Structure 1
Amino acid sequence: MSARPLPELPQLMIDDAVHAALLEDWGRAGDVTSQATIGRDVRASAVIAARKPGALAGIRLAQAAFRLTSPELRVEVLVEDGARLAPGQVVARIEGPARALLSAERVALNYLGHLSGIATATARFAEAIAHTRAQIVCTRKTTPGLRAFEKYAVRCGGGMNHRFGLDDAILIKDNHIAVAGGVTAAIASAKAFAGHLVKIEVEVDTLEQLKEAIPAGPDVIMLDNMGPERLADAVALVRAAVGDRIRLEASGGIDLDTVRAVAETGVDLISSGWITHSAPVLDLGLDIGIG
């Protein structure tokens, strides 16, 4: 299971998204294949099982796909989100009208496979750096309309969330710095604007910018596109100046081959867009009449 408690997705959010996905899939006439080949009163049972190892995320969305398709479909959830799955492990059993079961199948598996893929990718990153102080966090590089679910999946994999949007934290990036007139000016303006609950983070890509950022006092400094040696120098510089008062985030092109070395530099956070925008789908399948 995930080391930290998982947030709860609001049921209304789940139902709205799944309802829209079902309408998209059914089109103007519903599942014409099931209608053409299966009698109205035929019932069936099925299981959803993992075909490869991974971390589970999205079981409530899958459950909602069946429930919203037909209240007669009964879904028994056997494994909760955050669990680590073995190949062949059954995560849910479904029983009820066969037409409805098959009409909901693809939407349920699309959510489950996509979100479990993100959780699995995150888990691999988190496991690689578990011996360090660093945490893996996601970014805003998410699928439009799915951000809340994809960020939830990151939590299922043992990661943490960065900001959810442009409105919940101030992140001063290189383009903001260029327009504002420099690192110091941008941070000063942000402090004058921000409320007492709004964190301020600034991105730097050189040690010279870092030296300018430290006395300006942001909450977090993002060390962008720095290799492990440069990151180690940056961490030493900040710790010597202000200790742990400023949190340090490494970002930019970090993958499973490099994340361990990055974490061992002493940074607090490692952000990755890959875990949400490029994580492979986890292979889960629905099989009729098994179990």
Structure 2
Amino acid sequence: MTETAPAAAVLQDAVAPPPRHLIDAVVAAALAEDAPWGDLTCQALIDADQRATATITAREPGVLCGTAAIEAAMRLTDPRIRVAFPRTDGAVFAAGDTLAEITGPAAGILTAERTALNIAQRLSGIATLTRAFVDAAAGTRARITDTRKTTPGLRVLERWAVRCGGGSNHRAGLSDAVMVKDNHLALLAVDGPDALTEALRSARSRLPHTVHIEVEVDRLDQLDPVLAAGVDTIMLDNFAPADLAEGVRRIDSRALVEASGNVRLDTVPAIAATGVDIISVGALTHSVRALDLGLDFVAHRSATIDRGGQP
């Protein structure tokens, strides 16, 4: 059913979406928000069995993400709607390209239209911006990752979009890993650096061996007590490139090195060149611009769907 995108149009192998039940939960909530008592316009004007064909078209170039969410919006509104995708998630598209082909009851397509577009526009915007950051760090060891600065309720989809853009995911939430940030340090290091080292070592001894421990520092003089605790990742927060390079030198592969703060498209090449392993970018999800995608009906003679529910 789904056609394969030309090789030149794909950034990477197709990125698997989140589990269907998670997508359905997000999309169902969005549909309920938009039409809690049904679509009054369609109920008043559109025959419930009138058939239509529509396309979702790109009005600007970008990287695709959100096909499963588009399909879910249509299916959950009316299971008679069928959607085909000429391109896979992670594919590059140009302005004017067709991203989805939709057939089925016109009223259902109209009811699902805004929800489908809202989600696909945001996810494709995230994928497109992520790809720009990945390209800016090309030729270095640095991986571009997201953060927890996501839209409430949409994290599972937004993390998918980051992967579609060629980026990687940070921890999904507070339950996934130990991450000691500045406010934690303010409490743990009140009795000095040795107390911090001991607190981190004690935490390690109590945690399962599979749990990853990351510590954020904002000064080079904080490195020694953190390194002495044997943590897995050290985040250098808001460091200038010269200090990042010095931090990488001092850590000397004893932990993964993450750079965070002041990461923009114009600064990421210099940050990546310092030798850090990871660059986390909150802007991928917290301030991204949605891409301009549009859904338009294809003109054809009026038709209806049979009462048996077949398209």
TM-score, length-scaled by structure 2 = 0.88
TM superposition shift of 1:290 = 6.4
CA distance in 2, matches of 1:112, 1:53: 14
In the alignment, what sits opposite 1:248?
A: 257
**SS of corresponding position for 2:126:** helix
Of 14, 26, 50, the residue aligned with 1:42 is 50
**Do 2:13 and 2:90's aligned partners in 1 also have CA atoms closer than 8 Å?**
no
TM superposition shift of 1:5 = 6.2
In the alignment, what sits opposite 1:233?
A: 246
**Do 1:137 and 1:271's aligned partners in 2 also have CA atoms closer than 8 Å?**
yes
Of 16, 19, 31, the residue aligned with 1:10 is 19
In the alignment, what sits opposite 1:27?
A: 36
TM superposition shift of 1:21 = 1.3
For residues 199-278 of structure 1, the aligned pairs below 5 Å read 199-239=212-252, 244-278=253-287
Runs of 4+ in 1 over 4 A off after TM superposition: none
Residue 81 in 1 paired to residue 94 in 2?
no
**Do 1:172 and 1:186's aligned partners in 2 also have CA atoms closer than 8 Å?**
no
TM superposition shift of 1:211 = 2.6
In the alignment, what sits opposite 2:182?
A: 174
Judging changes above 3 Å, is the alpha-carbon distance between structure 1 residues 86 and 162 closer, same or farther for their aligned structure 2 residues?
A: same
Q: Which amino acid aligns with 2:212?
A: K
Aligned-pair Cα RMSD in Å: 1.5
- Choose 40-49 or 200-209, whichever is displaced more: 40-49
TM superposition shift of 1:214 = 2.0
TM superposition shift of 1:110 = 0.8
- Choose 3-12 or 196-205, whichever is displaced more: 3-12
CA distance in 2, matches of 1:147, 1:187: 29
Of 150, 154, 166, the residue aligned with 1:146 is 154
Judging changes above 3 Å, is the alpha-carbon distance between structure 1 residues 229 and 191 closer, same or farther for their aligned structure 2 residues?
A: same
In the alignment, what sits opposite 2:309?
A: none
In the alignment, what sits opposite 1:53?
A: 61
Judging changes above 3 Å, is the alpha-carbon distance between structure 1 residues 168 and 210 closer, same or farther for their aligned structure 2 residues?
A: same
TM superposition shift of 1:127 = 0.6
- Choose 262-271 or 3-12, whichever is displaced more: 3-12
Q: Which amino acid aligns with 2:29?
A: A
In the alignment, what sits opposite 1:103?
A: 111
- Please, which runs of 5 or more residues in structure 1 have no aligned partner? none
**SS of corresponding position for 1:39:** coil
- Please, which runs of 5 or more residues in structure 2 have no aligned partner? 1-9, 301-311
- Choose 38-47 or 55-64, whichever is displaced more: 38-47
Identity of aligned residues (%): 52
**SS of corresponding position for 1:43:** strand
TM-score, length-scaled by structure 1 = 0.94
CA distance in 2, matches of 1:73, 1:51: 24
CA distance in 2, matches of 1:92, 1:165: 32
In the alignment, what sits opposite 1:121?
A: 129
**Do 2:74 and 2:116's aligned partners in 1 also have CA atoms closer than 8 Å?**
yes
Judging changes above 3 Å, is the alpha-carbon distance between structure 1 residues 114 and 222 closer, same or farther for their aligned structure 2 residues?
A: same
Q: Which amino acid aligns with 2:160?
A: Y
C-alpha offsets along residues 176-210 of structure 1, whole Å, 9 cap, x if unaligned? 11212244133223212221100111111111001
Count of residues paired in the alignment: 286
Q: Which amino acid aligns with 1:62?
A: I
